[in-house]
Structure formats: structure tokens, C-alpha cells
Amino acid sequence: DVITAADLENLAVLGHGNGGTVYKVRHKTTLVTYALKVIHSNADATTRRRALSEISILRRATDSPHVVGFHGSFEKPSGDLAIVMEYMDGGSLETALADGTFSEERLKVVARDILEGLASLHERHITHRDIKPANILLDSKGEIKIADFGVSKLMCRTLEACNSYVGTCAYMSPERFDPEAHGGNYNGFAADIWSFGLTLFELYVGHFPFLEAGQRPDWATLMCAICYGDPPSLPESASPKFRSFIESCLKKESQDRWTAAQLLTHPFVSKDPETH
């Protein structure tokens, strides 16, 4: 059934994003709780365009168990645009990290769930383009889902379309900064895998890989390290399987990087006992 503004009552504000506010709402008759992203009618054109694009991408991807559920969208008489999403009650991987770093055991599960989400997006020719701890949401049932498709792209025509500068700078892969030097064509699918590798790395060590703990980023230095330095490697405490997995995600050349489907067969995350 189609959900409209009149069906919902506000419970709380969950967060503010770029140009929108996310509310916790309840359906008055079914009593189901949802997250409602509202883009104000006076938002700038870019914000509105991103919201419309997020709606069309969520609609395509919502049957994946590791993509945040989509339950429709509507425009209020005021001109506000609203997106009804599954409510994830456990915060994000960024907030979870504030409680402490993740063990390898936990990361195996986290990695597999995110990869299943990424594999289903990539199969549908969708690149997320902003994979980072804050955009992976959790719920109290232990589910892990990819959210925030505001800068995602459906790769229907040319890879060129992806070259525009979007997403969070720090998690960008070497070829996003410098396509010539790193495998030529910018490949949005491989770029998601790079960001995914950095995300796992950060959850394990507790800080962004290219920086020391607590160090504030200086963008020029960071960009040089990402493009011209070696990929970061895990501390000695990490197992060989985990190291190998992260290496497969963080290959400098995008064409050497494993795909989501390949990574799902890696012994670090594989469910197949023969590969262990």
C-alpha cells in the first residue's frame, strides 16, 4: 500500500544529512516504525536532484537483504520531498566504532554482509560511490545494510558519467584522484571495493588508515599518500587470511582489485568449508 504523509506521525529526529533531515516516524494504523528522509522544498537543485536519484536507485536495489529497505516516496503539499525507508535502530558502523574496534570474527560477518549488498548493487549496475562507516547501518536484530544513495549512480551508458567529483574525499580510490596513473578508466565498481577495504581497515584499527590515530587530515598529503604511496597494510595482529582479503580490496590498480563477487569466495569471508 502506498504510504502518504497523513499516515505517519513524527517520533524523533534521527539525523541531519546534506540538505535533508531524517525522522523516526510511525505508521498510524500498522504501527510500523520507519525512517523518513525529508528534503525541504527550498533545498537547492543539487540536493533535490540527489534525492530523486536516491529514490530511483533505492527502488531498484531494495530487494537486496543488505540494502536499506525502501517503502515509497511522496511529495507533501508544501513541496517537501519525503523518502520512506526501513528504520535501522542500531546506528551506523561509525557510531559502533565509537564503542571500540571490531574483532576479526565480527569483521568477517560485517564484511560478508556489506559484500552481499555491494554484489547485488553491482549486478544491477549501481555504484554506491560513498561507502564509509557512517553509511552502513545496523539494527538490533544484527542486520547490516548499505544506506545513503544520494551520490550513487546507475552505470547505464558511459563510465565517463562517473568522473564527476562526489562522495567523501578520504575514502576515494587512487584512480578517482588520478585516472591516468591508476588503470586508465575510472571503474566505479572497483572504487566501491577500495572504499569498502578502507572501511574494514578502519573498523579494525580504530582510525582512518592513512592517518595516525587522532591526526587531522591534510587533504593534499592524504591524496598523495593514496595515489603515490603503497596501500596501507594491517598490523601484525591480523591473520594471514584477513591481510590477504584487505590486500585484494586495496590493490592500487583498479583492474587488479577483486570484484564483490570474487571477494565473496575469499577464505576470509567464504561460508564454503572447503576453502577454509
Interacting residues with ligand ADP (CB under 6 A): 14-15, 17-18, 20, 22, 35, 68, 85-88, 92, 134, 137, 147-148, 150
Distance of closest approach, residue 137 Cβ to ligand ADP, in angstroms: 6
Q: C-beta of 18: minimal distance to ligand ADP in Å?
A: 4
Residues identified as active-site: 130
* Chain residue whose CB lies nearest ligand ADP: 17
- Which of 79, 67, 71, 65 lies closest to 26, judged by CA? 71
φ, ψ of residue 125 to 5 degrees: the values are 65, 30
Closest to ligand ADP by CB, 19 or 179: 19
Which residue, 54 or 175, has its beta carbon nearer to ligand ADP? 54
Residues recorded for the chain: 276
**Minimum gap (Å) between residue 22 Cβ and ligand ADP:** 3
Nearest to 127 by CA among 39, 196, 202: 196
Report the nearest approach of ligand ADP to the CB of residue 11 (Å): 12
- Asked if residue 37 belongs to a known ligand binding site, the reply is yes
CB 47 within 8 A of CB 98: no
Helix (H, G, I), strand (E, B) or coil at 269: coil
Q: What whole-number distance in Å separates Cα of residue 242 and Cα of residue 261?
A: 17
With H, G, I as helix, E, B as strand and everything else as coil, classify residue 62.
Answer: coil
CB of 222 to ligand ADP, least distance (A): 21
In the 3-class helix/strand/coil scheme, how is 179-229 assigned residue by residue? Answer: CCCCCCCCCHHHHHHHHHHHHHHHHHHCCCCCCCCCCCCCHHHHHHHHHHC
When the beta carbons of 33 and 259 are compared against ligand ADP, the nearer one is 33
- How many whole angstroms separate alpha carbon 167 and alpha carbon 164? 10
φ/ψ (deg, to 5) at 205: -95, -20
CA distance 151 to 192: 12
Task: Give whichever of 167 and 174 is closer to ligand ADP, judged by the CB atom.
Answer: 167
Nearer to ligand ADP, 73 or 248 (CB): 73
Q: What angle do CA 116, 198, 269 make, to 5 degrees?
A: 35
**Cβ–Cβ under 8 Å, residues 174 and 240:** no
Annotated binding site: 37
Annotated binding site for ATP: 37
